[in-house]
Amino acid sequence: MSGGLPRIGVITFPGSLDDRDALRAVRFMGGEPVSLWHGDRDLRGVDAVILPGGFSYGDYLRTGTIARFAAVMEEVRSFAAGGGPVVGICNGFQILCEAGLLPGALIRNRQLRFVCRWIDVRVETTLSPLTGGLVPGDVLRVPVKHGEGQFVAREDELRRIEGEGLVVLRYCAPDGAVDDAHNVNGSTGSIAGVRNEGGNVVGLMPHPEHAVDPDVGATGGQAMFVALLEAALERVSAA
Amino acid sequence: MKFVAHVEISLKPGLLDPQGAAIGGALPALGWTNVAQVRVGKYVRLELESRDRDTALAQVKEMAERLLSNPVIETFAIRDVSEHAGPAYEEAPA
């Protein structure tokens, strides 16, 4: 750690789009952004890692499939195994699922259409790098923009996800009610984000990095970045 | 030896297939009102070098399990693995 700020790495894959916004959001929220490259075999000593949104490797074969073989992913895997906070946003979520670091998979939206708009998500657990310090039931306004965000899982896996409290966020109405009308892509159980058993890896389809600056809209992403910086700091002090 | 393998990848039966549903919704416009269900999958053709056919089959199976399909949402079927003597697919004469 340098200068007392938690260092948050953002990985750029070929086809990443939201790496710049993620880096900017880290800086805006008081962290030190560190740009990481898919070919790196070194996470440069960061305290947390973000896999940003976009269309890595053109979404060839399946979304996130090819990116999971990038050199940097070996480092992400061991960082996660050591308890390091890892966040996958949108395409980053898809990559973490394909890499087996998160349960489930993301398939084409139920309505077939790309969806790009502001939505609300309800916090389901505080045991994730993005929701520490929040309260279950809190509603955050953030944007989504994806064509393949419908969360699915095998039946036994889904029971485990729900049973062990691995659901981090659900699509909901502005008042927090979860119903089909607000399930923006037809996800099973309106699931917008999940975590791993260890609680240090989280993936979500919405984009908190686009929702930190009041000059450009709602600020539902701020609380998630506050939580991430806190998780990164805890890691620094634990080391 | 050179082999050609054909692998078919399908979304699991229980999963909603929006692409299939969209195609199923469009077919009646052409007069095809007799189609009960449409499922959309992927087809992958591989040319590979292997010691023998059994080895090729085992290798293709592993490729299908570990990369070509995602076991969470898809199943695969290896339709054929056969010896390939002809020109590459792209070079086939018109």
pLDDT at A21 over 60: yes
Task: Please tell me which of the candidates A97, A109, A152 has its beta carbon nearest to residue B15.
Answer: A152
Asked if A107 lies within 8 A of B73 by C-beta distance, the reply is yes
What pLDDT sits at residue B89? 57
Q: Map residue B76 onto helix, strand or coil.
A: strand
Asked if A109 lies within 8 A of B70 by C-beta distance, the reply is no
What pLDDT sits at residue A158? 96
Q: Could you report the per-residue pLDDT of B45-85, keeping only the tens digit for each?
A: 999 999 999 999 999 999 999 999 999 999 999 998 999 87
CATH pick for B2-86 out of 3.40.228.10, 3.90.110.10, 3.40.50.300, 3.30.1280.10: 3.30.1280.10
With CA atoms as reference, report the closest residue to B45 among B89, B1, B94. B89
A7-238: in CATH 3.40.50.880: yes
Q: Catalytic residue positions of A?
A: 90, 207, 209
Average pLDDT of chain A is: 95
What pLDDT sits at residue B13? 87
Task: Please tell me which of the candidates A105, A154, A186 has its beta carbon nearest to residue B16.
Answer: A186
User: What are the sequence ranges of the domains in chain A?
Assistant: 7-238
Where are any strands of DSSP class E within A99-155? 105-107, 115-123, 139-146, 150-152
What pLDDT sits at residue B90? 57
CA of B58, closest CA in chain A: separation in Å? 21
Helices A220-238, A19-28: crossing angle, 10 deg rounding:
80
What pLDDT sits at residue A102? 98
In Å, what is the CA distance from A75 to each residue of A38, A39, A68, A93, B3? 10, 11, 11, 17, 36
In terms of DSSP bridges, do strands B74-83 and A139-146 run parallel, antiparallel, or are they unpaired?
unpaired
* CB contact at 8 A, A118 and A141: yes
Site from A63, A68, A108, A161 to mutate, B interface, most B CB atoms within 10 angstroms? A108
CA of A59, closest CA in chain B: separation in Å? 13
In chain B, positions 9-68, which contact chain A (CB-CB < 8 Å)? 11, 14-16, 18-19, 21-22, 67-68
What pLDDT sits at residue A1? 45
Asked if A62 lies within 8 A of B70 by C-beta distance, the reply is yes
Task: Please tell me which of the candidates B14, B18, B68 has its beta carbon nearest to residue A112.
Answer: B18
**Spatial separation of the C-alpha atoms in residues B59 and A34, rounded to whole Å:** 40
β-bridge partners, A171: A121
Asked if B72 lies within 8 A of A97 by C-beta distance, the reply is yes
What pLDDT sits at residue A33? 98
pLDDT at A53 over 60: yes
Paired tokens of B94? 């018109």
**Spatial separation of the C-alpha atoms in residues A115 and A109, rounded to whole Å:** 8
Task: Please tell me which of the candidates A108, A150, A153 has its beta carbon nearest to residue B72.
Answer: A153
Task: Compute the average pLDDT of residues B27-52.
Answer: 95
Task: Compute the average pLDDT of residues A96-119.
Answer: 94
Amino acid at A133: G
User: What are the sequence ranges of the domains in chain B?
Assistant: 2-86
Site from B7, B73, B75 to mutate, A interface, most A CB atoms within 10 angstroms? B73
Residue of B nearest to A156 (CA): B72
